[in-house]
Amino acid sequence: MATTPAESLPHAGFWVRYAAWSLDAALLLPLIVLFGTSRIAHAFAEAGGALQTLAGEMPHLLGEALGTQQSAAAMTARLLAEPAMASAVDHLQASLGAILLTPIVLYAVLAMPWAVLSEQSTWQATPGMRAFGLKVTDVQGRRLKAGHALQRHLAAGLSWLTLNLGHAMALFPPQHLALHDRISDTRVLRAAGSPRLPITAKAWIGAQLLLALVAFVWLFLWLQAAMQAAMQQVMGF
């Protein structure tokens, strides 16, 4: 049996595929910022206002609840039942949801033309894939047509909806097929003789870990500062 081009090239593993995807996401970031900054800034302002309301209502309501000698569960239920507290909690949840979901929704909208146009092009790869020597083919090693590339992208939605279990399937050799690869009958290949995870991909993943740590610390400090400012306002400092 003759070996097809798709069989002659090594299949790309999970981590180099993640590096390629995350690089594409980073390249889309300027557009996400352009379209999402106003909404996210408004959500941060709403979250700060909700925290101030919570801090303002908490001492009074907590004092009342403590005076009734209720259990912790009953006290919590009573506090959350207060209209002002319930409204502030709802606003805080909605604001945090907007902060988290706005970039995700914008990415989902922008990623479709980005992926489909790139994978059906002569590159057979998105810019992120191309940077790490990857390409997408059908099971015969052929370039995807536009409809096939769209099918692959839509199938990738199922990999996301499975809480990334569909993506995690790419961890398993020998073909490292994600759920959407199987559904769309496509393959992600790397150049013959290329390393499983290039040094550039390792450096890129390491930079993301550092950035995630910085972002977590910044968000924690922002929430701490917002709560402290609200408490100081209540106490008249």
Q: For residues 61 and 85, is the Cβ–Cβ distance under 8 A?
A: yes
Q: What is the pLDDT of residue 1?
A: 36
For the residues 210-237, what does the mean pLDDT come to?
78
Domain boundaries, the chain: 5-230
Query: Does the pLDDT at position 59 exceed 70?
Result: no
Cα 212 to Cα 83: distance, rounded to the nearest angstrom:
36
Q: What angle do CA 88, 94, 96 make, to 5 degrees?
A: 100
Q: For residues 182 and 11, is the Cβ–Cβ distance under 8 A?
A: no
Q: For residues 152 and 180, is the Cβ–Cβ distance under 8 A?
A: yes
Radius of gyration of the CA atoms of the chain, in A: 24
Q: What is the pLDDT of residue 230?
A: 62
Residue 215: how many CB atoms within 10 A of its CB? 10
Pick from 17, 26, 24: nearest CA to 178: 17
Q: What is the pLDDT of residue 71?
A: 59
Pick from 164, 178, 235, 201: nearest CA to 24: 201
For the residues 24-32, what does the mean pLDDT come to?
95
Instruction: Give the pLDDT confidence of 14-25 residue by residue, as tens digits.
Output: 999 999 999 999
Tokens found for residue 13: 């593993």
pTM of the predicted model as reported, rounded to 2 decimal places: 0.75
Q: What is the mean pLDDT of the chain?
A: 85
Cα 153 to Cα 116: distance, rounded to the nearest angstrom:
7
Query: Does the pLDDT at position 171 exceed 50?
Result: yes
